[in-house]
Amino acid sequence: MNELVNEYLNDCEKNMNKAIEHLINEYQIIRAGRANQHILDKVFVDYYGVPTPLNQMANISVPEARVLLINVWDQSQISNISKAISMADLGVNPIDDGKSIRLIFPALTEERRKEIVKNVKKLCEECKVTVRNARRDCLDIFKTMKKDGDLTEDDLAYCEKEVQKLTDNFTAKADSLSASKEKEVMEI
C-alpha cells in the first residue's frame, strides 16, 4: 500500500480522535451531582479589559462534595469574578465573603438528571456525526484516487475496510464515554 494512503488514514484517525477529545472535554464540564472545577472552564472574566479564563485568575478547589472554593489572587477582582460566574448561568449563585468565592451546588432533582442525560446523549450523537463525516471525507479521497488510477479496485476495498474499522472503534468509544457519563449523572 502506498504512503499516501497511510497518510490519509492517519489524518482520518486524527480527525476522529479530535471528536472524541472534544466529547471528553464537554463531558468534564457537565456536573453530575458533585462539584467539578471543570464547570468553570468556560467562564471568562473581564480583567482590565481583557477576557481572561477564571482558572488563570484564581485557585479553584473542592473542599466538600458539593462546594467549589475559589481563592482569587487579585482581591480587587472578586466582584468581577462573581459577576462573570452569575452571567455564565451555571445554576448556582456565587457567595462572596470578600476574600474568596464559594459555589454551593444543590442536589440534582430527578428531572434535572434526566435533562442532563439528554444533553449527554446529544453530545455523543454530535461526536458520532463528526466521526462519520471524517469517514465520508476520507472515503471521498480514496474514491477520487481510484478514479484517477492511483488505486486499484482491491486497494479501494482495503481502504474502505480500514476506514470502517476506525469509524467503528471511535463510535464505540463515544458510546462507552456516553454510557459512563449517564451512569455518573444518574447516581444519587
**Tens-place pLDDT, residues 154-179:** 989 999 999 999 999 999 999 999 99
pTM of the model: 0.74
pLDDT digits (tens, 9 = 90+) for 43-78: 888 888 888 888 888 888 888 877 888 888 888 888
- At residue 31 the predicted structure's pLDDT band, cuts being 50, 70 and 90, is low
**In sequence order, what are the beta bridge partners of 94?**
103
Return the H-helix or E-strand segment holding 164: helix 153-186
Q: How far apart are CA 80 and CA 99, in angstroms?
A: 13
The domain ranges of the chain are 3-29+109-186, 37-104
Question: 37-104: what CATH class?
Answer: alpha beta
CATH no., domain 3-29+109-186: 1.10.132.20
Q: Whole-angstrom Cα distance, residue 160 to residue 156? A: 6
